[in-house]
C-alpha cells in the first residue's frame, strides 16, 4: 500500500466541542515544520491546504447533541476530500481540528478501502452515543457513527444523512485509554472491542501492546490501516496544548514506538492528528512543544527512524583519500 506521495489536508474545525482555538491546529502543526520534515523522508508532498468550513446559522442542539448540522456538513466535506486523495493514490495526513472530524475522515477512507482497520490512539474512547454522552459534544462520539453494531442505538441526527456505519467492532483497536465514560465502558465490553488502557500499557509494555493490536487487526489478512491519533493520548507534560488533558498518558517513547510499528507494517493509508489547541498552552513554549510532538508523530508514522538516516553509500572517506588531496 505504501504510496510514494503523501497528501496533507488541514481541517480547521472546532464545533465538535466547546473550546475555541483547536481550529488553529493545522496552522501550528505546519508552522512547526511538518512539510519540510516529510520532504526529508523521500516522498513527494502534496499540501492541499485547509478545507473551508461553513458554520450553519441556527444550528439548534438535537437530543443534547451540539452543532449537529455544522459538524455533519464539515464531516461530509472531509469525507469527500479524503476519498479523493486516497483514490488518487496518496497516503493522507489530516490535521485537525477536533476529533469529531474522524467521522468524515474514516468514512471517506472507507469509501476507497472498505476493508480498512482503525487504530485509535487517545485518552478517551470517543464512542458515546447521543444518548450516553454526558456532554453532547460530538468529538466524544465519532466512533459511534462508524460501527454497524451501534446502528440501532443511533438516532437520525440532522446533518448526518450522508453517512452510514461501515466498520465492525472487530476492525478497531484502542490504545492509551484512561478516561472512559460509563456508557462507553458498557459498549466496549458489550461489543468485545479490543482496547488497551494505560494500565495495560504499564502491565504489558508498549511492545506487547502493539504486537497484540496489530495481530488482532491483521492476522486474517493484510489491510489498509487508518490511524486516528489524538494528541491527548500523550501525557499532559508532553502535550499541554489540548482541550481535555488527562494525567498519566503515553511517554514520548511509547507514542513514537506505536507509530514506528504502524509504519513498519507498510499498511498505513490515512492518519488523523487532532486536538492540538494552541490557545490552551500555558505559554508559547507549551504550544510549540505540543506542535513539535505532533510533527514527530506524523513523521514517525511515515518512516522517520530514531537511529537517524540510513546511508545508502559509504559516507566516510578513508584517510588515504584525504592525504592525497592534501598533496595536490
Q: Give the residue ranges of the annotated binding site for Mn(2+).
A: 99, 122, 124, 126, 230, 232
Please say if 126 is a catalytic residue: yes
Please say if 307 is a catalytic residue: no
Catalytic residue, chosen from 99, 109, 226, 263, is 99
pLDDT tens track for 259-284: 999 999 999 999 999 999 999 988 99
Name the average pLDDT for the chain: 95
pLDDT tens track for 226-237: 999 999 999 999
Please say if 122 is a catalytic residue: yes
Please say if 99 is a catalytic residue: yes
Q: Give the residue ranges of the annotated binding site.
A: 99, 122, 124, 126, 230, 232
Predicted local confidence at residue 319, as pLDDT:
72
Write out residues in the chain with pLDDT < 70, as ranges.
Answer: 1-3, 309-313, 315, 317, 320-328
265 burial via Cβ count (<10 Å: 0-12, 13-18, 19+): middle
Please say if 124 is a catalytic residue: yes
- For the chain, list the domains and their CATH numbers: 5-306 (3.40.800.10)
Catalytic residue, chosen from 59, 98, 122, 181, is 122
Q: DSSP letter at 148?
A: G
Global model pTM greater than 0.85: yes
| Rounded Cα–Cα distance for residues 155 and 198 (Å) | 32
Helix (H) or strand (E) holding 217: helix 206-218
Pairing assessment for the beta strands 225-230 and 44-50 based on DSSP bridges: unpaired
Please say if 59 is a catalytic residue: no
Predicted local confidence at residue 225, as pLDDT:
99
pLDDT tens track for 31-55: 999 999 999 998 999 999 999 999 9
Catalytic residue, chosen from 232, 235, 261, 272, is 232
Amino acid at each position: 500500500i505504501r504510496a510514494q506521495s503523501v497528501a496533507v489536508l488541514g481541517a480547521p474545525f472546532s464545533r465538535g466541542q466547546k473550546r475555541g482555538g483547536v481550529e488553529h491546529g493545522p496552522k501550528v502543526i505546519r508552522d512547526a515544520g511538518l512539510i519540510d520534515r516529510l520532504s526529508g523522508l523521500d516522498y513527494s508532498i502534496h499540501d492541499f491546504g485547509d478545507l473551508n468550513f461553513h458554520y450553519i446559522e441556527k444550528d439548534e442542539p438535537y437530543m443534547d447533541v451540539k452543532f449537529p448540522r455544522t459538524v455533519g456538513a464539515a464531516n461530509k466535506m472531509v469525507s469527500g476530500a479524503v476519498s479523493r486523495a486516497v483514490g488518487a493514490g496518496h497516503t493522507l495526513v489530516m490535521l485537525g481540528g477536533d476529533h469529531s472530524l474522524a467521522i468524515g475522515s474514516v468514512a471517506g477512507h472507507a469509501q476507497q478501502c472498505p476493508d480498512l482497520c482503525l487504530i485509535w490512539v487517545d485518552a478517551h474512547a470517543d464512542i458515546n452515543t447521543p444518548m450516553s454522552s454526558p456532554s453532547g459534544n460530538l468529538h466524544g462520539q465519532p466512533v459511534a457513527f462508524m460501527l454497524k453494531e451501534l446502528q440501532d442505538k443511533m438516532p437520525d441526527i440532522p446533518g448526518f444523512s450522508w453517512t452510514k456505519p461501515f466498520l465492525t467492532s472487530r476492525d478497531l483497536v484502542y490504545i492509551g485509554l484512561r478516561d472512559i465514560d460509563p456508557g462507553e465502558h458498557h459498549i466496549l465490553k458489550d461489543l468485545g472491542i479490543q482496547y488497551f488502557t494505560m494500565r495495560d500499557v504499564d502491565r504489558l509494555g508498549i511492545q506487547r501492546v502493539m504486537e497484540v493490536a496489530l495481530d488482532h487487526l491483521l492476522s486474517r489478512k493484510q489491510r489498509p490501516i487508518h490511524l486516528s491519533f489524538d494528541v491527548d493520548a500523550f501525557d499532559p507534560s508532553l502535550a499541554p496544548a489540548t482541550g481535555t488533558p488527562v494525567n498519566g498518558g503515553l511517554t514520548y517513547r511509547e507514542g513514537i514506538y506505536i507509530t514506528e510499528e504502524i509504519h513498519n507494517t507498510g499498511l498505513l493509508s490515512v492518519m488523523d492528528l487532532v486536538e492540538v489547541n494552541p490557545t490552551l498552552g500555558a505559554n508559547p513554549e507549551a504550544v510549540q512543544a505540543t506542535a513539535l510532538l505532533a510533527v514527530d508523530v506524523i513523521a514517525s508514522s511515515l518512516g522517520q527512524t530514531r537511529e537517524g538516516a540510513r546511508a545508502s553509500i559509504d559516507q566516510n572517506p578513508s584517510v588515504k583519500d584525504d592525504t592525497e588531496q592534501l598533496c595536490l
